[in-house]
Amino acid sequence: MIPMDKQWEQFFFIAAVLGITFIISLLFRFLVGRFIKGAARKLKVDPTRYNFFKNAVDFILFFVAIVIIFRSIPPLRTYGTGLLTGAGVLAAIVGFASQSAFSNIISGIFLVIFKPFSVGDRVKVGQSYSGDVEDITLRHTVIKDFENRRVIMPNSVISNETIINSSTIDEKICVFLEMAVSLKTNLDTAITIIQEEAMKHRYYIENRSESEIKME
């Protein structure tokens, strides 16, 4: 039985560790928001990596805080050691459950490194969701859809889907138009007229090379 004064001491220690960690986290977020993001805007640097870095540091801070708490309080240290050494079934369950978590973390890192999209981009993920990317965290990506709802998608799901990014540098797109003609129309003549009229349009863009034009 732990004496009451010892219990209060342990309680205040836990509260102090979590409180200090929370304050450090808030301070770090303030510095990131005040200085790093400001510098990123001035230098025209993509802020996506800073957002991910901010979330990663938060995770590390609280993980370290929990480890300190377990290592500093004897009952918790004994309990933690018992879990690690004697609970094989529990370890297997936790390991199985962690596969999804680690998969999301690794996928999040890949999203930040290879950058199929960035914060602020308008994307379509698979056949289901379209919207603007608001944030990329260790576990998930936040997409604001056109109904102003936030879609929380696990990073591992996004990594396995086809992504259409409408915010890429090249804003030119190809639009297919259907032209109805009568059955008596000469198709060759109709195609020639359509091509000539399309080339006169102010939004027409020639993407063919000179060799491709000559071949036609």
| CB contact at 8 A, 81 and 34 | no
Determine the Cα–Cα distance for residues 101 and 107; give it in Å rounded to an integer: 10
Nearest Cα to Cα of residue 143 among 163, 120, 162: 120
Residue 57 placed within a domain: yes
Distance between start and end Cα atoms, the chain: 91
Element (H, E) at 122: strand 122-125
pLDDT tens sequence for the chain (216 residues): 556 666 777 788 888 888 888 888 888 877 776 766 666 666 555 666 666 777 778 888 888 888 888 777 776 666 655 555 555 545 555 555 556 677 777 887 788 777 888 888 999 998 888 999 988 887 889 999 989 999 999 988 888 888 888 887 666 667 778 888 888 889 899 989 988 888 888 878 777 666 655 555
pTM of the predicted model as reported, rounded to 2 decimal places: 0.50
Burial of 111 (0-12, 13-18, 19+ CB in 10 A): buried
Determine the Cα–Cα distance for residues 11 and 3; give it in Å rounded to an integer: 12
Q: Which domain holds residue 143?
A: 122-165
Residue 48 placed within a domain: yes
Does one domain contain both 14 and 58?
yes
Does one domain contain both 82 and 127?
no
Does one domain contain both 15 and 81?
yes
Determine the Cα–Cα distance for residues 157 and 140; give it in Å rounded to an integer: 9
Q: Can you give the pLDDT at residue 132?
A: 93
Which residue bears the tokens 């939004």? 203
Nearest Cα to Cα of residue 18 among 68, 53, 54: 68
Residue 213 placed within a domain: no
Report the CATH number at residue 130.
2.30.30
Task: Please say whether the dihedral angle defined by the alpha carbons of residues 26, 63, 118 and 155, taken in this order, is positive or negative.
Answer: negative
Does one domain contain both 132 and 77?
no
Q: Can you give the pLDDT at residue 72?
A: 78
| Overall number of domains in the chain | 2
pLDDT tens for each residue of 86-109: 555 455 555 555 566 777 778 877
| CB contact at 8 A, 155 and 141 | yes
Q: Can you give the pLDDT at residue 70?
A: 78
Residue 10 placed within a domain: yes
Does one domain contain both 137 and 78?
no
Does one domain contain both 75 and 127?
no
Residue 109 placed within a domain: no
Residue 148 placed within a domain: yes
Q: Can you give the pLDDT at residue 214?
A: 54
Does one domain contain both 17 and 82?
yes
Of 32, 66, 86, which one is at a domain's C-terminal end? 86
Residue 185 placed within a domain: no
Determine the Cα–Cα distance for residues 21 and 17; give it in Å rounded to an integer: 6
Starting at the edge strand found earlier in the chain, the sheet holding 163-165 runs 150-154, 140-144, 129-136, 122-125, 163-165
Q: Can you give the pLDDT at residue 1?
A: 53
What is the DSSP secondary structure assignment for residue 119, as one 8-state letter? Answer: T
Residue 152 placed within a domain: yes
Determine the Cα–Cα distance for residues 123 and 163; give it in Å rounded to an integer: 7
